[in-house]
Amino acid sequence: MAKIMAVNAGSSSIKFQLLDMPAETLIASGVMERIGTKDANGNAQEGIFTLKYNKNGEKVKEETNPMLPDHAVGVELLLKTLVEKNIVKELTEITGVGHRVVQGGEYFKDSALIDGPDGTVVNKILELADLAPLHNKAHVVGMRAFFKALPGVPEVAVFDTTFHQTMAEEAYMYATPYEWYTKYGIRKYGAHGTSHKYVSQRTAELINKPLEDTKIIVCHLGNGASISAVKGGKCVDTSMGLTPLEGIPMGTRSGNLDPTALQVVAKHEGLTLDDLLNTLNKKSGLLGMGGRTNDARDVTKGMNEGDHRCIMAFNVQSKRIADYIASYYVYMGGCDAIAFTAGMGENLTHLREKILNRLGVLGVVIDKEANDKAYGVEAKISTPESKIQCWVVPTNEEVMIARDVVRVGNVK
């Protein structure tokens, strides 16, 4: 059996899961945070290392505060800790590493075996950093740290964008000057592809239909949120665009808007385009509209207190989600199932209810009791009369990454 490490490296963090394959069972998971963090005087700060695993048959969560000056130190410590705690007997048990990569552009149509810390794959990922500056560079730092710590172990890059590469030109092109596309790659790439792929495949199993014959709409509603239309197992449209800013309103992101708004605000407040994009990415969405936090639980609290802005934020978000589902229903010529996943999709019962009630005209009938009970578990939430089956399907991006390490890395 292979033990595969699924890694999501960010600029100051490394999230990881160690999985047993092909059983797909979780051995350990955790995160290293505050890597390379310094205070205002430039002094190095302590990091946070959280590790969850089974100790003598019991689930434990341990947190320590080591110094984590860079990713390489973090990875060394992680691997050393796995051996010390007897989670693996020796590091040779780890036979593959998979890295989540946010942007693969048009170049990566599938996951890719990484040909070394300075090879063509790494260089291509860095070249694509224009489209995801913070993310892609951080992923490469993570890859290099693992090459150093586990020499000779195959590493595979799994891109958030590859699942959306099957979109037709009519779905991915913007109506901007064509040269923007040919010169700068301006088009829709989408995101959360690994999740959309997992959830659409799992939903096909749950509705008991061959994937090739299915039309499924996946709503990945987390802090970042996107919707995909998946026909015959292939993505035909998705709500995120060149970057994850496009689409529905999210925790802190605005989703779609008329770009002229930027000109008006820039003129009045003397802001740059960078400032404004920062506001659209970090201070908009539920946070901007509702005025509380980006967390849907705080918006819900506000709604229960009768706060108009929270009620408005919820209504705007649910309307825009329903709009996307309806348009994908038309684009695919029908729909067998709508699947909800990620933090809000798996847990926010009243959001699912509001969205599905808005879709009554398509023959959607929610099973209110089943919906109210479905928290973070697979569950059917539509009645037998519903023309479209509706499901909660918890996502599992790490399993998809591990599967691709086995397939693309030819790991035994």
Active site residues: 160
- Given 105, 193, 251, 255, the residue binding ligand ADP (CB under 6 A): 251
Of the pair 228, 347, the CB lying nearest ligand ADP is at 347
Residue 177, preceding peptide bond in cis (omega within 30° of 0) = no
Q: Are 382 and 356 in contact (CB under 8 A)?
A: yes
Structure tokens that stand for 254 in this block: 């605005």
Q: For residue 48, count CB atoms less than 10 angstroms from its CB and return exposed for 0-12, middle for 13-18, buried for 19 or more.
A: middle
Of the pair 165, 226, the CB lying nearest ligand ADP is at 226
CB closest to ligand ADP, residue no? 343
**Piece in contact with ligand ADP (CB under 6 A), picked from 96-104, 233-241, 294-302, 308-316:** 294-302
348 binds ligand ADP (CB under 6 A): yes
- Given 31, 310, 344, 401, the residue binding ligand ADP (CB under 6 A): 344
Min dist. Cβ of residue 75 to ligand ADP (A)? 22
Of the pair 222, 241, the CB lying nearest ligand ADP is at 222
**Piece in contact with ligand ADP (CB under 6 A), picked from 79-87, 117-125, 241-249, 291-299:** 291-299
d(CA 354, CA 364): 12
Single out the residue of 280, 297, 276, 278 nearest to residue 288, CA to CA. 280
Of the pair 314, 329, the CB lying nearest ligand ADP is at 314
222 binds ligand ADP (CB under 6 A): yes
**Piece in contact with ligand ADP (CB under 6 A), picked from 5-13, 109-117, 221-229, 378-386:** 221-229
296 binds ligand ADP (CB under 6 A): yes
SS (H, E, C) 199-253: HHHHHHHHCCCCHHHCEEEEEEECCCEEEEEEECCEEEEECCCCCCCCCCCCCCC
Of the pair 148, 297, the CB lying nearest ligand ADP is at 297
A 10 A CB-CB count for 154 gives: 18
Question: Can you list the alpha helix ranges (DSSP code H) found in 110-172?
Answer: 120-127, 133-149, 169-172
d(CA 328, CA 230): 9
- Which residues does residue 338 pair with via DSSP β-bridges, in sequence order? 217, 390
343 binds ligand ADP (CB under 6 A): yes
Of the pair 7, 408, the CB lying nearest ligand ADP is at 7
**Piece in contact with ligand ADP (CB under 6 A), picked from 69-77, 94-102, 132-140, 293-301:** 293-301
Give one word for 302, left, alpha or beta, with left for phi > 0 and alpha for psi -120 to 50.
Answer: alpha
Quote the distance between the C-alpha of residue 233 and its chain's center: 18
d(CA 140, CA 103): 12
- Given 201, 223, 279, 281, the residue binding ligand ADP (CB under 6 A): 223
Structure tokens that stand for 379 in this block: 């569950």
Of the pair 297, 308, the CB lying nearest ligand ADP is at 297
**Which amino acid is it at 349?**
T
224 binds ligand ADP (CB under 6 A): yes
User: For residue 366, what is the DSSP state?
Assistant: B
**Piece in contact with ligand ADP (CB under 6 A), picked from 110-118, 163-171, 218-226, 378-386:** 218-226
Q: Are 409 and 94 in contact (CB under 8 A)?
A: no
Residues 321-340 that bind ligand ADP (CB under 6 A): none
Min dist. Cβ of residue 343 to ligand ADP (A)? 2
393 binds ligand ADP (CB under 6 A): no
Can you tell me whether residue 267 is helix, strand or coil? helix
- Given 81, 347, 382, 396, the residue binding ligand ADP (CB under 6 A): 347
Binding-site ranges for ligand ADP (CB under 6 A): 222-224, 251, 294-297, 342-344, 347-348
